[in-house]
Amino acid sequence: MSIETRRKPPSPLGETTTPVKRRKQSWWQRMWRDRMLLAFALPGMVLLLLFHYVALLGNVIAFKDYQPFLGIWESVWTGLENFDVLFNGDPDFLNALRNTLVLTFIQTVFVFPVPIVLALLLNSLLSERIKKLVQSILYLPHFLSWVIVVAIFQQMFGGSGMVNNFLRSNGWAALDILGNPDTFFALLTSQVIWKDTGWGTILFLAALSQIDSSLYEATAVDGAGRWRQLWHITLPGLRGIIILLLILKLGDSLSVGFEQIILQQAAVGVQASEVLDTYVYNNGIVGGSWGVSTAVGLVKGLIGVVLVLAANKIAHAFGENGVYKA
């Protein structure tokens, strides 16, 4: 973050006319030189430290029999006892793990590409006005909290909601949409798609606008159709951002939607709906097993880190930048 590179000799005052040889500055001198930039970064750094790094220390209760009234220091060390649920396969934990992995798979394979497709569709709209309008409408659901979204779904599709009310008053059988454990994942997935797809297109649209339009013109001259253009220009142009987002997505892929699920858990039962996040909440905060829950959370975090690092490695292997450079 150096401004050095932007300083172009000769300086505005014209004191020197020949480029000075770069003198090695001390750490403090560099700090002083960049003080303004550092000041800008400081609040963010403090927040990051306080709420992301200092908070990490709390993970120590994964190795303790934590009792809130005793506090972290006074609670008894228990070694790896809390990790028993992981290694000895507590059925509830395994159930939560299985549900989480299925949802992770669905969200990565089916939900992730949807914004890309939508962005391509939006990009092909010719009228700027219609495009803006469609975008605004699609962005809206992102700003609704899950409580509202779930309430809307209940009013629309609930047992006594609008759709079923209509069906019944016309003599048809009502559909069990929200309370059916077998279709719960489909419900969750469609809610996620409805809520966040529009928002997810933003980065892709930005990337699309970066693609040099002369490429399209050139291929058009060479006789390439829409599909060939898509395959040879558009998608390669998006590849970097797709891979970047995919890696980031993998990092929190085990967080499959806490609020959304806990709000709808009662209707379908724990068996169909418990995921790692709700397991941690139900056991830790509600059930008082703070240590076990922290252990589960810790392992979940570790898996996330491993996934990010591995995905990044793979990206490098394919010649992409990934999240950071090797």
Partner 1 sequence: MHEFATEKEFSRRNFGRGSLGVLALAALGGPLLSACSPGASGGGAAAQAKGTLPDFIRYEGVTPDLKGTDLGIPDVFYRYPAQPVKALGQAPGDGKAITSMVQTSSPIPPGVDKNAYWQELNRRLGSDLQISMTPATDYPSKFATVVAGDSLPDIFQVARGANSVPQLLQAKAANLTKHLSGGAIKDYPFLANIPSESWSAAMFGGEIFAIPIPRGVLQSTIQYRREDLLAAKGITAQPTSFQEYLSLCKELSNPKGNTWALTQVPINFIAQTLNVPNGWREEGGKLTSKDETPEMKEALEAGRKMFADGVVNPDAFAANAGQFKQWFLAGTAYFTGDSYSAWPAYYQQAAGQEGFKISALDVPGFDGGKGSLWIGSPTHSVVAFNKGAGDRLETFLHVANWLAAPFGTEEYLFRKYGVEGVHYALSGTDPVPLDSGVGQTQLGQQYLADAPTVLYLPGEEDVVKAQYEQMNRVLPDGTASPVEGLYSETEVRKGGQLEKKLRSVRDDILQGRQAVTAWDDAVKDWRSGGGDKIRAELEEALAASKA
Residues that bind partner 1 (CB under 8 A): 67-72, 92, 154, 158-161, 164-165, 168-169, 174, 176, 178-179, 181, 263-267, 269-271, 282-283, 285-289
- The torsion of the CA quartet 176, 159, 194, 98, rounded to 10 degrees, works out to -50
For residues 115 and 201, give the distance between their C-alpha atoms in angstroms, rounded to a whole number: 5
In the complex, minimum distance from the CB of residue 213 to partner 1, in angstroms, rounded to a whole number: 51
Nearer to partner 1, 253 or 273 (CB): 273
Task: Give the Cα separation of 238 and 209 in Å (integer).
Answer: 10
- Considering the complex, state which of residue 12 and residue 71 has its C-beta at the smaller distance from partner 1: 71
Which one, 67 or 255, has the nearer CB to partner 1? 67
For partner 1, the closer of residues 19 and 71 by Cβ is 71
Q: Of the two residues 98 and 228, which places its CB atom closer to partner 1 in the complex?
A: 98
CB of 269 to partner 1, least distance (A): 5
Q: In whole angstroms, what is the distance from residue 21 CA to residue 118 CA? A: 52
Helix axes 146-157, 258-268, angle to 10 degrees: 30
**Do 101 and 311 form a contact (C-beta atoms < 8 A)?**
no
Q: Is 280:274 a contact under the CB 8 Å cutoff?
A: no
State how far the Cα of 275 lies from the Cα of 86, in Å rounded to an integer.
14
> Helix 184-210 crosses helix 235-251 at what angle (to 10 degrees)?
130
Compute the least distance from the CB of residue 197 to partner 1, in Å: 25
Q: In terms of CB distance, is 123 or 180 closer to partner 1?
A: 180
Smallest distance from partner 1 to CB 43, Å: 24
- The least CB distance from residue 179 to partner 1, in Å, is 6
Q: Nearest approach, Cβ of 194 to partner 1 (angstroms)?
A: 18
Is-contact 49 276, C-beta < 8 A? no
Cα separation, 133 vs 118, whole angstroms: 14
Q: Decide whether 64 or 251 has the Cβ nearer to partner 1.
A: 64
User: 103 near 188, Cβ under 8 Å?
Assistant: yes
- Are 76 and 289 in contact, with CB atoms under 8 Å apart? no
Closest distance between partner 1 and the C-beta of residue 193, in Å? 21
